[in-house]
Amino acid sequence: MKCTITYYDPASQRVEFSSVHGHAAALWTGKAVESGVEVEAELGLLESLAWGVDALELDPEETADDSAFPTIRMEKGKVVLTGLLAEEGPDGECSLRLGEDEVEFEAVGTPPRTGTRIQLRTKQLVLYAW
């Protein structure tokens, strides 16, 4: 995913970034980077999620007119990712489609069917530099 770094703290490796899908904060795994630099990076989640708790199926009627879909945003100290469930594996391994990009994650419980609009809420997002 193409991201523009808007803030970088070398001590904590924390960045804030923006993309065509929105903006958020994340842990940066690459070399030191400056604000304003555009990078290619992969998004990842460090924690396992639970369906119905922090991995939610969205009501198709409520999201039908959502012209800003998919999205990345910050809400009450958490990163919120909204997109399509692209894959669901037997061991809880799943992926969220954000436009042309995918975010791998693990979630316990019963997932909705592939292609469903979902929302993930996580305390920590990671940007893996390419």
For residue 66, the model assigns a pLDDT of: 59
Is the per-residue pLDDT at 126 higher than 90?
yes
Q: How far, CA to CA in Å, does 123 sit from each of 28, 86, 114? A: 14, 22, 24
Quickly state the pLDDT bin for 89 (edges 50, 70, 90).
Answer: confident
pLDDT digits (tens, 9 = 90+) for 42-79: 999 999 999 999 999 998 766 555 555 789 999 999 99
Task: Please give the backbone phi and psi of residue 60, each rounded to the nearest 5 degrees, phi first.
Answer: -60, -30
**Distance separating alpha carbons of residues 53 and 75, to the nearest angstrom:** 15
Using alpha carbons, select from 14, 20, 61, 17 the residue that is nearest to residue 39. Answer: 17
Q: Which of 34, 127, 21, 37 is nearest to 82 (CA)?
A: 21
pLDDT above 60 for 118: yes
Position 4, amino acid: T
Predicted structure pTM score: 0.91
